[in-house]
Structure 1
Amino acid sequence: MKKILLGLLALTMSATMFAEDKFGIGAGMGLSDSMYKGAEDKAYPMPLLDINYGDFYVKGVTVGYEFYKDDAFAASLFLDPLAGFAVDAEDLKSGYNNIDDRKFQAMFGLRLDADTGFYGVRTGLTAQVGEHGGEGKLSAFKAYKVDEKLTIVPSVHVKGYSGDFTDYYFGVSKEEARRN
């Protein structure tokens, strides 16, 4: 995780030299309710990046390349280095100590965005895959510009996961089950 964050920082520093004032850098705190029995909720530092340089971008921690864009449609390829649901086995309650660590995974994906033509509502379709399976997401959202510095974007998302993804992050392997 530290290597990923340092890599993103290096990317940010190099991209800002070329970005010609088309960047934003910040820091935030990620809060996560653990979905694993007995694991505590976690807080962790999170870089908040918004960098655009030509067709390349960094949004949050996702790095991408927009290879097509017109007024109604956009398509991009991206890398999300912190996908998945990480948990350390030692954080789980006793009785679950036979479970191995689950790590974040880097996922590569394709994103398609389209204007519906219906009151400014846009849709997004994302498919991404990594070492431990894949995920798909369908989104609908609309931006409301409050003033020059504030835009509110309410959205609705539906996600689905592959069997390999759910087995790794939410399942118990045969080896883990035998340890009990």
Structure 2
Amino acid sequence: MIKPNKYLTSITMVLSMVIIKNSAADDLSIGAAVAIKNSPYKGVSSKASPLPFVDYDSSYFFIHGLGAGVHIYKDDHNEFNLLGNYSPMEFKPGDSDDPQLKELYKRKSTIMAGFSYIHHDVWGLIHANIMRDTSGVTNGMTSDVGYSYRFEWDKFQLTPGVGVSWSSKKQNEYYYGISQQESRRSGLNTYDPNDSLSPYLQMTLDYPFLTNWKASINVRYSALSSDVKNSPMVDKSDMSSLGIGVNYKF
């Protein structure tokens, strides 16, 4: 059984980029993907991770990758949803080759819950959500707002998207801050980040083949905010990911 980890994030983007759906009720898709995502932390290498994927949507309930929830309201163009999702962001000191980062404490993944809004029309799709940690790990909040548009050539579907992600101060303190105790252990300076905005670009290419099968390729680029990239734990100014997957729609 494959344990959830930070590379699961890419699976959601591979097969359901920002919940881009225009499906009938009770749609079910299953599949698998290979995802590669670089870590913002010093000395932590990129890894490829094969993972399963499930996507289900009915008139009242849905599962999209790492998230599940209920439709509070849904019509031909709008969705208001109550949702929860597993947030796989984490830091394991043993994964880093940096001797100072090995002296820091572990940062755990968590469960987020909140609300989302989706509107889709002939001119594209907009989405927005606001989420809060529910497990007491970070006590922080995140939000994401974006726009995407799908182009079609024969069987090929190309969907570029743009957006911005927000993380609260508490969220950033947990994943990128360094306490006085950690500073004494590691020799790194203490660090207390504020909230942050991270713009991103992404592109998904879908290719239906045979009957009910679809292959997908997704790439995403995010620019890290100064409050994140200035952390002594971080040695990058951006992050990128690549995912390749295939799924079958019942």
- Normalising by structure 1, we get a TM-score of 0.78
Cα deviations by residue, 1:80-132 (Å, 9 ceiling, x for unpaired): 11x152121111211222211122111112111124x6x51221111111131
> Are the equivalent residues in 2 in contact too, given 1:78–1:109 (CA < 8 A)?
yes
Match of 1:27 in 2: 32
Query: Who is 2:95 aligned against?
Result: 91
Residue 35 of structure 2 aligns to which amino acid in structure 1? G
Mapped pair 1:43 → 2:26: no
Classify the secondary structure of the residue corresponding to 2:101. coil
Q: Which runs of 5+ in 2 are unaligned?
A: 6-24, 187-250
Tell me what 2:66 maps to: 61
Runs ≥4 residues deviating over 6 A = none
Cα distance in 2, alignment partners of residues 49 and 61 from structure 1: 9
Residues in 2 aligned to 1:110 and 1:137: alpha-carbon distance in whole angstroms: 11
The residue that corresponds to 2:147 in the other structure is 140
Among 104, 127, 133, the alignment partner of 1:124 is 127
2:160 and 2:26 map into 1 onto residues whose CA distance is 27
Deviation track 1:135-177 (CA, whole Å, cap 9, x = no partner) reads 1111111233445x65432211101100011111111123211
Name 1:179's counterpart in structure 2.
Answer: 185
CA contact (8 A) 1:98 1:177 kept: no
| 1:152 counterpart (143, 158, 162) | 158
How far is 1:37 from its partner?
0.6
Q: Secondary structure at the match of 2:141?
A: strand
**Distance of 1:3 and 1:50 partners within structure 2:** 18
Structure with higher RCO (Cα < 8 A, 6+ apart): 2
Counterparts in 2 of 1:105-120, with a 5 A limit?
Answer: 105-115=110-120, 120=123
Shift in Å at residue 134 of structure 1? 1.2
Query: Size of the alignment, in residue pairs?
Result: 162
2:173 aligned counterpart, secondary structure: helix
**What is the root-mean-square deviation of aligned Cα atoms in Å?**
2.5
Q: Displacement, 1:78?
A: 1.1
Counterpart of 1:42, as a letter, is K
Which whole-Å CA distance do the structure 2 matches of 1:72 and 1:24 have between them? 22
Instruction: Return the letter of the residue paired with 1:144.
Output: F
The answer on 1:76 being equivalent to 2:113 is no
Structure 1: gaps spanning 5 or more residues:
6-19
State the alpha-carbon separation in 1 of the partners of residues 89 and 177 from structure 2.
12
Percent identity, please: 26
**For residues 51 and 145 of structure 1, do their structure 2 counterparts lie closer, same or farther at Cα, with a shift above 3 Å needed?**
farther
